[in-house]
Structure 1
């Protein structure tokens, strides 16, 4: 468990964890040794001079005080280490998730990552703060007490020692029998979390279909699966709990019978028997707690394994010696790229000279948006190369590539914060004058003027409190503020009303001025602003040229243009 924890966190966290484990072990031994002082106390109390118990009682009190101090120090160390590990885990997980390919984030992983990043991390990191101390105490304190019992009376101490392998065997068997149930229960929980998210996202569709009072069958099914898995997990753990209880009771009964036999035979005194039985009773509580602690540790270990699996996912590799591109022309050289079992690009080559505009058109599903994502290195190609300024993007430092690239996608996501905070994401160190100038160029200032909160208006999660056109203006202002030499546009006006479309077009024109631009065009009117056009279909470039040239060829592009210009009936 500790090895898995340190592997997940990294070697830099090993010293505080090992120090905490050592402190907790010492505290558990001190607890067991403090109970050893009960031996002379009880012997004196049941002897001819009970007053002789006073010095031992004082020593027992001092021993308990020392144990209490050690326990306080070890628990404090556990809480501090747990807090440090939690902070480190969130940073490591966040940094790793930011470096994973976009393709890794499938719909099925939305619920998994959300549960893992919230409850999963907390449960895994709670081991040090909340579970390790009671677990060590439940293991080490009874063993220390058994050593004391062996010193008092070897027969009864040996009888108590026989229970140790039995308890270990029961715990190991319980762990093996519940392992499948733990994994199944966690998997069902992640699926259910994903279904809850899906249910919330599907509310507009459900309400439009008049199904507001109906249950969402897939969510109901997943919740029933969670219930079934939880019930099965409880049933699989029950024999271990019962077995552990019976083992402890059998040990105590065996000690009572053996002690009675030895006492009746005159081999041991009554005070000695009572002392050993008191020590045995003190062993019972921590041993019985192993069932509950073991279940929690297995749950935490399952989360650690899942965290480890995510952290072992291969991120996009960073070049050991990054190369700085000296220009901002773009190039696809014999690019082949597959997504899942589908070939998106098959030996595609194209180039965009610095300062020119390339429009990408074609039917839906032909990889137009994927082309932009490959330029931004959201994925790595399977064959060929994507170059910026003649340098393979895999040889460019990711931060450098992102600094030189401004991206405006059709679906704009804004963080839950103010408008100004979302604009400043483009360049956090920008001056107030620069922020206001970017907003004016994107015509965002018109939106801000009519909002009661102005720049301090909260946009809500995902920008839900703004309209689609307003979100696009924020996105364009953010890109303008970034002032990057490369601009990637996924047709940003396809779902806007005429007023917002005109405003966004004006902002886009200012954004594209003097920059290298690749734009995905869903509305064919935007193609006229491009220096060159490529028509994608079937994973290949079918046609290439400027707008007028492609119209003269009367091919696929001309058909698309004619269809887009035909008024809807």
Structure 2
């Protein structure tokens, strides 16, 4: 694992780590020498000339002083290395996350990155701060003890040497026993944590639908907690035999040394003072081994953390062009685009169109899409759910790269545009808005951090955010909470649009920005979108009739291809898929829910639904 840590930290830290290892090894070796010096000291004290002990005592004092210096420097170096590792790994994770394809991100992956940046980095940091010193002591000190034991009695030293391979085999066996159970326990803990957060966040929905403490969500949480408990039991049941087995092996090694030493003493080839001194040394030999075995579980935990960090750092990035090109206009072209979500990028499933099973299987989403969105025009994209509408917007912003064909902006393939420049060309207003913990003004300023206060207020005024700030107690300084929880859905959407207006990108992608809004917020958001669309190339995914009819052109996406294209009048006259879509939407616009006891209007499409059964 030390080699993997060296690779994780990079060449700039190798000198520091080598010095750290040098001091820790020196301290462990000096500790072994100090133990060995007990042999001549005890032999002198118990022999015929006690005064001969003083040179050995002076030597022990010098070695102890050296050990104290090396130990102190090693401790400080360990703490500094742990802090440096934390900074370096956090920086590498942040740099990697910032370079990953936007399509890689999902709720599950965000939670995994959070675990990496908190628990896993702390586990790896603990290797230098807490584990490395006792581990090196557990192996270096016994090795020094055995090596120097040959200077006093080669037979007892040989007996100690022969026990080392046996102890190594037992240690590896104990480690294998607990490794699989540790992995299962980690997975159960992550699952239980996710269920707890899910249960807490969904309380309003669960209670409204009567799914309280006895509902299915609570049972899912309870099942996850039960699995975590069972995984913990399995971890203990598998790990404990290994720990006991290694402890027994260590004691057996010590017993072998006692038996061999006693036999030598009874045979007259080893005097009693030397035997006593060597048995004390044998005890010093086995003690660090026992301590190192206890730390084995923590080492494995850190090793798994390193593996998870390495896995994230190995996720492939979208390639940057060697010689970036610059678009000369904002005309968008799709040229025979074929695309499937790669299974490797969506496990756990990312929030993409189509069912997770379809996505994981690599289902083809687009099967040869060709279209042209002229600069400065608005294009509406319509089609059934799962047709690939959101995928089209994501390919323009290069969340992913196409399987074949090309997506071009101003005649330049988006793969030949530098990522920073591409992001500066595009603003995306998502259906589900996420606001950062901070004030309303902070969230708008994300669109252009160097904007002046006047620019921020102008964008807010166009998006009708001013009226939101005016009615809140702290005005512009009102904190929106995590994810914008203190604002309504429509208010969050207006803040998001203000952010996009402030960015002032020439291409705007709107993904059903007015869906599921009440009439008042829909009107406000629609007016804000009108301000955002002015003079820009716009692609809007929408099912609202007004938004669709105002578009310069309409693309009908069905089964991964552009089935129809044209203006509203042209497509209605053609009598194809769009005409059927228009007819259904017009019919749905008159839907009403009939009150209980009132005969539904025969022209209504939606009748009273049966009462749901109590869970």
TM-score band w.r.t. shorter chain = over 0.9
Displacement of 1:114 in angstroms is 3.8
Q: Deviations over 1:461-498 (max 9, x none)?
A: 11111111211121111111111111111121222222
Residue matched to 1:357: 378
Larger deviation, residues 339-348 vs 16-25: 16-25
The gaps in structure 1 that reach 5 residues or longer are none
TM-score (norm 2): 0.88
Alignment CA distance shift 1:430-1:328 (3 Å): same
Q: Is the 8 A contact 1:111 1:191 kept in 2?
A: no
Residue matched to 2:556: 535
Q: Deviations over 1:189-224 (max 9, x none)?
A: 333333333323432332122222226222222222
Residue matched to 2:475: 454
Q: Does 1:5 align with 2:26?
A: no
Q: Is the 8 A contact 2:337 2:370 kept in 1?
A: yes
Larger deviation, residues 331-340 vs 53-62: 53-62
Residue matched to 1:172: 172
SS at match of 1:289: helix
Q: Does 1:255 align with 2:238?
A: no
Q: Does 1:428 align with 2:430?
A: no
Residue matched to 1:407: 428
SS at match of 2:436: coil
SS at match of 1:348: strand
Residue matched to 2:389: 368
Q: Does 1:313 align with 2:315?
A: yes
Q: Does 1:149 align with 2:172?
A: no
Q: Does 1:440 align with 2:442?
A: no
Displacement of 1:431 in angstroms is 1.7
Residue matched to 1:43: 43
Displacement of 1:49 in angstroms is 4.0
Displacement of 1:77 in angstroms is 1.5
For residues 3-152 of structure 1, what are the structure 2 equivalents within 5 Å? 3-105=3-105, 109=109, 111-152=111-152
For residues 195-206 of structure 1, what are the structure 2 equivalents within 5 Å? 195-206=195-206
Q: Is the 8 A contact 1:182 1:302 kept in 2?
A: no
Residue matched to 1:303: 305
Q: Deviations over 1:330-364 (max 9, x none)?
A: 11110111232322111001111111111111122
Displacement of 1:565 in angstroms is 3.0
Q: Is the 8 A contact 2:174 2:245 kept in 1?
A: no
For residues 278-297 of structure 1, what are the structure 2 equivalents within 5 Å? 278-297=280-299
Displacement of 1:524 in angstroms is 1.9
Larger deviation, residues 143-152 vs 99-108: 99-108
Residue matched to 2:496: 475
262, 276, 279: which is aligned to 1:277? 279
Residue matched to 1:322: 324
Rounded Cα–Cα distance in structure 2 between residues aligned with 1:51 and 1:441: 96
557, 576, 591: which is aligned to 1:568? 591
Q: Deviations over 1:386-419 (max 9, x none)?
A: 1112111112111111111111111100111222
Q: Deviations over 1:55-103 (max 9, x none)?
A: 5334323322221221121222222122222222222223323333455
Q: Is the 8 A contact 2:378 2:540 kept in 1?
A: yes
Rounded Cα–Cα distance in structure 2 between residues aligned with 1:275 and 1:220: 58
Q: Is the 8 A contact 2:174 2:246 kept in 1?
A: no
Residue matched to 1:465: 486
Q: Does 1:226 align with 2:189?
A: no
Q: Deviations over 1:236-264 (max 9, x none)?
A: 22232122212221222222222222223
Q: Deviations over 1:93-124 (max 9, x none)?
A: 23323333455445654554443332123213
SS at match of 1:416: coil
Residue matched to 1:502: 523
Q: Deviations over 1:293-343 (max 9, x none)?
A: 111111211222222222222222222222222222111110111232322
Q: Is the 8 A contact 1:110 1:194 kept in 2?
A: no
Aligned-residue CA RMSD (Å): 2.0
Rounded Cα–Cα distance in structure 2 between residues aligned with 1:515 and 1:412: 21
Q: Is the 8 A contact 1:8 1:311 kept in 2?
A: no
Rounded Cα–Cα distance in structure 2 between residues aligned with 1:538 and 1:68: 74
Q: Is the 8 A contact 1:346 1:539 kept in 2?
A: yes
Alignment CA distance shift 1:523-1:211 (3 Å): same
Q: Deviations over 1:493-532 (max 9, x none)?
A: 2222222222222221121111111111121211233211
